Structure 1
């Protein structure tokens, strides 16, 4: 289920929840790139950046023009998951598979747990 909560999309699954910032021009059905915080039932959190091959190509082509990254000869991004097709469903499917295969730990960086004393944002207060 996808819902809008403040400036985020929240994708709720039984095994995890993803918060994805709303970016102008990036609809859930067609987004070719997104950053996501993935929260698990035990409260642990991981981070992922999703991109299609076309997005990676466009970045490398831009870097070839600007001279960045040795003139576009390489691309790097931490916690990157490359998806063949755009859309949140492709992103969710990748996370589902990474969880079931045990690959989530290698693919997505671990975030620090939320401090109990930390002031919660409206997103964190919203019921699921």
Structure 2
């Protein structure tokens, strides 16, 4: 007679629970800065003031993310959609392109933008 082991199902459950917990991790503003510097700064500026080297070529100046009046009126979901789908999808500038960033990178960039605006706590 063979005794059934519960080790494998328990181990599998632990791995799956760990994966779910990792997926629910808070966005990392420091990681967002790395992505922002690589993907966004050329237009939005290194400090988020809308003064990147490429901004001079746009019909609409990129927003100043450090201005407390700019980001607080936008939800995290709205910002993520603009990053994912581009400005025109949300009635914003055609100069803001859609991106192919991962969902995690986008959440981290949004967390970094909140930090720039002086409002680290995100809204839904």
TM-score normalised according to structure 2 size: 0.25
Which structure is higher in strand share? Answer: 1
Relative contact order higher in (CA < 8 Å, ≥ 6 apart): 2
TM-score normalised according to structure 1 size: 0.25
